[in-house]
Amino acid sequence: MKAIYYISLLLLFAISQESFSQQRTRQRASDAATDNTPTLTERARIKNQQESKSPGQVAWLREMYRYIDLEKEANAPLLYPTEPIGDRKNLFSLLFRLVLDDKINAYNYMDGKEVFNETQKISIEDLLKKQQILYTTQGAGANVQYIVDDMDIPSGEVLLYMIKEAWYFDQATASFKSRILAICPILTRMDYYTGVVNKEALFWVTYDEIRPYISREMIMTSNHNNILQYTIDDYFTKQMYDGEIVKTVNLMNQSLAQQVGSDPEALKLAQDSIEGQLKAFDKKLWVYPDSTALAEESAKKEDKKATKETKTVARESKSKEKVQKSKPAKSESSAPTRSVRRR
């Protein structure tokens, strides 16, 4: 009797587990059906094509890589909320959903050798398995769909981004601008056995592909003003982030640390030098008069001033002469006469 009792308990437990698993699968499928990931409209697609056009005539170009540390206050809008709250979600949650729903392409991370084409596209299933993200599948073959709960997305562990940035001079518009070419989220996880923090670059996404989606995702950029007045696209376009340069595109494909060493002071000097070069190039675009021209202009101003003063003095002297001539001259008859009686 005891054996039958225990067997029945095991059967009931197995049935309840299966029922719970099926219910969770249905819930995930329902969540996927009601996914609030923004959909790209035809108008947004056309607008994005216009904004993604390359500059007309690039006469000067410099590409560089920056790290955006989300633990800095200026970059916190990209991290919070770590879990979706209503329609609000952080940048990685949005990117992950877009990649999962096959709305944008994700490419393999390659250190300075990234190529954004079909051969370098990542496999979503490989990404989920490698990062140990729980998921279920729906459908089969080419129509397979991967379903991941919001709580299983490691959005709170992406504490770093690498962006590829381009500074260029457009000769057609005579303007010096910058634009972001691609973004790479970097997963930061601690090994509980060794206590070592491991950083792993997940994938590249091109900015032109994600622009129409992040241009509609509002974020809060201030602790003092809670109104959602900026989009993620505004955040990047207006350069509201605080990023440090870690590499510039060079012939040897070396990072700043490889070029100047790992000394923090040397790295800081190299970063400031690059920032100074960008500012100096912007200033050199416009021609300013040299010292000789300034001296000549100053001499001309002094001559004009002296000439003006001379004319003023001459004019005043002439006016005095006119006043003196206008007064009647004293004649001899007007001199006082002596009385004869007194004489």
In this structure, the number of other CB atoms found within 10 A of the CB of residue 91 comes to 24
Q: pLDDT tens digits, residue range 136-193?
A: 998 887 788 899 999 999 999 999 999 999 999 888 777 888 899 999 999 998 888 8
Tokens representing 161 are: 């981004």
Measured CA distances, 65 to 3, 13, 241 (Å)? 67, 54, 14
Residues 6+ positions from 83 with CB-CB distance below 8 Å: 93, 150, 151, 155, 156
Distance CA(219)–CA(95), nearest Å, equals: 15
Predicted pLDDT at 310: 73
Largest CA distance in the chain: 176
Q: pLDDT tens digits, residue range 4-27?
A: 655 666 666 556 555 545 555 445
Do β-strands 197-201 and 205-206 pair in parallel, antiparallel, or remain unpaired? unpaired
Distance CA(175)–CA(180), nearest Å, equals: 16
Q: pLDDT tens digits, residue range 231-251?
A: 999 999 999 999 999 999 998
DSSP 272-299: HHHHHHHHHHHHHTS----HHHHHHHHH
Nearest Cα neighbor of 76 from 241, 244, 246, 243 is 241
